[in-house]
Structure 1
Amino acid sequence: MSSSIPLKFAFLFSLSLAGAASFTTTAAAPFRFSRKHRTKSSYSLSPSTRPKATVSDLLSLLGPPQQAESVNSQVARDLWSCFRFLVPYNQTPTTRRSLSYKTSLPSRRSEKAVDELILSPPAPVLELARLAVDSGADPGAIHRALDPTIIPVPDVEGSNEDRCELTRTPYGRQFIDEGLNSYLEFLFEMIVERGPSVGLNVSLSRYDFFHGHLFLAKESGRLGILFHAKEYPAYDKEIFPCNMGYCQVGSNVAYDNSMNLRNILWLAPLPSNSTKAWLAPGVLVVLDASPEGIIYQDLIPEYVNIARTLYEEDFGEVVVDVNYLNVGAEVPKFQLFIC
């Protein structure tokens, strides 16, 4: 791990490869339900009878101005009302500066420096973002950037005793470039630190916030991560009567209005596929899925609306799962795993 971020969590990447071994026991897997198609009649219709929003619309709004302008104006307004930015976002192309190739994360960071690390990440992140586009959104290009060393997933906060399997595989890997690993750790810690500013209070724990899904966006190939917080809320027969199996046992995560904010989106800067120019800066935004909003109405599947879950495969090709796990004992110690 890079020395720029104190090693507290274990970071593991779970490879989402076709045919890869995975744990699919319903009682142990992260909270998700079988995919179904919602019928048109089950949507809450907007008074303006606007077109139905799509994830493509959402990504376009956070992309270059030309893409953003292609989104229906009413849909765009409704989606913007659901964005809770953790770093200020500027859509005006004339104010964007060329992205700099910083080499590492500074050990001491001001608020402005943190903003810059999202808008213009260090060189290893920019290189991976360009690789994603230049490869034609080939997941294999990202997989080849991983260190082949296999890292067994250890017991996480007593999960073994509860027969809880948090990751798709019992092992993981990390990126060859330590700068990439450090940046992913930084993203998790940033979300925890800045979340309260938009009403999202999360903790780095196996019941709450520990994973995200790295994807290559449909059409553009843009590199992104859809994070999920509030993964295992405590069972409550009145407000959350959902039995989620072994991994829910012992949860102290309350089911409340913060569930509306459990989907967090990071997008890397978007490079041009024909020049060395950068078309859009990086983004870190909480997606508000409150029932009165367009994200809940149009993008959250009806069968999982109680959990407010956006699905990563709707955003693009899922490449790996990114896990930041507490593998410590009395003193929390975290490590990055890519599975």
Structure 2
Amino acid sequence: MSRPSLSFRFAFLLSLSFTASYSTYSSSSHSSSSLFIKPRSSSTNPPSPKSTASDLLSLLGTPQQVASIDPKTAKELRSCLKFLVPQSPSRIGPEFPKPSLRRALTLESSDSVHNLSWSEVNELVWWPPPPVAELARLAVDSGGDPDAIYLALDPTIIPVPDVEECKENRCELTRTPYGRCFINEELNAYLKFLFEVIATRGPSIGLTVSLSRFDFFHGHLFLATGTGRLGILFHAKEYPAYDKKVFPHNMGYCQIGSNVVYDDSMNFRNILWLAPMPSNSKDAFSAPGVLVVLDGHPGGIIYRDLIPAYVNYARTIYEEDLGDAVADVNYLNIGDAMPDYQIFIC
């Protein structure tokens, strides 16, 4: 989901300014009549510091980064993390996957995840195949320059076909009407793998998704602020069905025909993948890969601090808040009788 239009955000901010002005006037008027009332003693517990996207990324980073976070903030953030792959690897890496495991990953069938054991999937997230690790290092060594990622893309332009009757409903599903892929096929296979792992393991934490254009079909590739760490912020539940009582929000042509129910699983719509964090030593990494669902339930620190108020009904975290946006990664079913999912990087 892209950010709302400037006019919408301006209107929202304007309404806030009126509210603030009224609040200030009311407060000053009230204070004149309460000069002789004993003020309440200040609370002994200072308010919790506002967390940032950088805090979240640091918590999923190196031991040094974790130690830099306010302990109370770290505890609150941890309470809102639902790991699809355990955060702590069963062994110290990296140790690149065995050739047989890499072959299973590059199978044309989307069933490749189902051909892997639970521990094999974990290993592929913690310590991805060499092409993924090399791209992660390139991102960091470049200082977080998106051009480093663009150079790894095949220049061939691939038109995005009509997906699940988009054209019939005048739905422009992707950022551009064409996409690209990585030159290295193993990188494209790994992107497919991530989508399939999320869809397969999501129900274990309460996130059931369908790989469809209304629900789970895209993520946003970014380079983290300050470190250049490679990541993807996936968004599920993209177009919930309009419902006058439950979800009275018109989201445009792409919402038409949606069967996605707006319920508590909307809290889990932000899923974060981080590549292993390269260290200063060549071929060494200081933090493993991560795949985690960000719990945005009302009352939690992620809802309070990381989800903008003007879009909290959709529980959306924006990739620009995590770092420099590079491209959208779309996983689209372009098949007719049989499903045929392909990657389009736009």
TM-score (norm 1): 0.85
Task: Specify the alignment match of 1:76 in structure 2.
Answer: 74
Q: What is the distance in 1 between the residues matched to 2:93 and 2:196?
A: 26
How many residues align? The count is: 303
Task: Specify the alignment match of 1:254 in structure 2.
Answer: 261
Task: Specify the alignment match of 2:94 in structure 1.
Answer: 99
Q: What is the distance in 2 between the residues matched to 1:276 and 1:170?
A: 38
State whether structure 2 residue 244 is matched by structure 1 residue 237.
yes
Is residue 181–residue 188 contact of structure 2 (8 Å, CA) maintained in 1?
yes
Equivalent runs, 1:298-313 vs 2, <5 Å: 298-313=305-320
SS in 1 for 2:173: coil
Give the alignment partner of residue 61 of structure 2, picking from 60, 63, 76.
Answer: 63
Task: Specify the alignment match of 2:175 in structure 1.
Answer: 168
- Report the alpha carbon displacement of residue 272 of structure 1 after superposing the two structures with TM: 1.4
Deviations 1:40-95 (Å, cap 9, x if unpaired)? x99xxxx761100000000000000110011101100000000000000118xxx7
SS in 1 for 2:314: coil
Gaps of 5+ in 2: 21-44, 105-111
**Residues 249, 53 of structure 1: CA spacing in aligned structure 2 closer, same or farther, 3 A cutoff?**
same
Equivalent runs, 1:284-299 vs 2, <5 Å: 284-299=291-306
Task: Specify the alignment match of 1:110 in structure 2.
Answer: 117
Q: What is the distance in 2 between the residues matched to 1:182 and 1:223?
A: 17
Is residue 31–residue 232 contact of structure 1 (8 Å, CA) maintained in 2?
no
Equivalent runs, 1:263-278 vs 2, <5 Å: 263-273=270-280, 275-278=282-285
Equivalent runs, 1:1-339 vs 2, <5 Å: 30=1, 32-34=3-5, 36=9, 49-90=47-88, 96-102=91-97, 104-106=102-104, 108-273=115-280, 275-339=282-346
Q: What is the distance in 1 between the residues matched to 2:169 and 2:221?
A: 28
Task: Specify the alignment match of 2:107 in structure 1.
Answer: none
- Which AA in structure 2 matches 1:33? P
Which of structures 1 and 2 has the larger relative contact order (alpha carbons within 8 angstroms, sep 6+)? 1
Q: Which runs of at least 4 in structure 1 moved beyond 6 Å after TM superposition?
A: none
Q: What is the distance in 2 between the residues matched to 1:324 and 1:79?
A: 29
Q: What is the distance in 1 between the residues matched to 2:49 and 2:187?
A: 39
TM-score (norm 2): 0.84
Q: What is the distance in 2 between the residues matched to 1:121 and 1:258?
A: 29
Deviations 1:293-336 (Å, cap 9, x if unpaired)? 10001111000000000000001011111000011113221111
**Residues 273, 174 of structure 1: CA spacing in aligned structure 2 closer, same or farther, 3 A cutoff?**
same
Identity of aligned residues (%): 65
Give the aligned CA root-mean-square deviation in angstroms: 2.0
Deviations 1:231-281 (Å, cap 9, x if unpaired)? 000001111110011000000000000100000000000001454421100
**Residues 296, 163 of structure 1: CA spacing in aligned structure 2 closer, same or farther, 3 A cutoff?**
same
Q: Which has the higher helix share?
A: 2
Deviations 1:181-214 (Å, cap 9, x if unpaired)? 0000000000000000000000000000000000
- Report the alpha carbon displacement of residue 97 of structure 1 after superposing the two structures with TM: 1.3
**Residues 48, 81 of structure 1: CA spacing in aligned structure 2 closer, same or farther, 3 A cutoff?**
farther
- Report the alpha carbon displacement of residue 101 of structure 1 after superposing the two structures with TM: 2.8
- Report the alpha carbon displacement of residue 170 of structure 1 after superposing the two structures with TM: 0.4
- Which AA in structure 2 matches 1:325? L
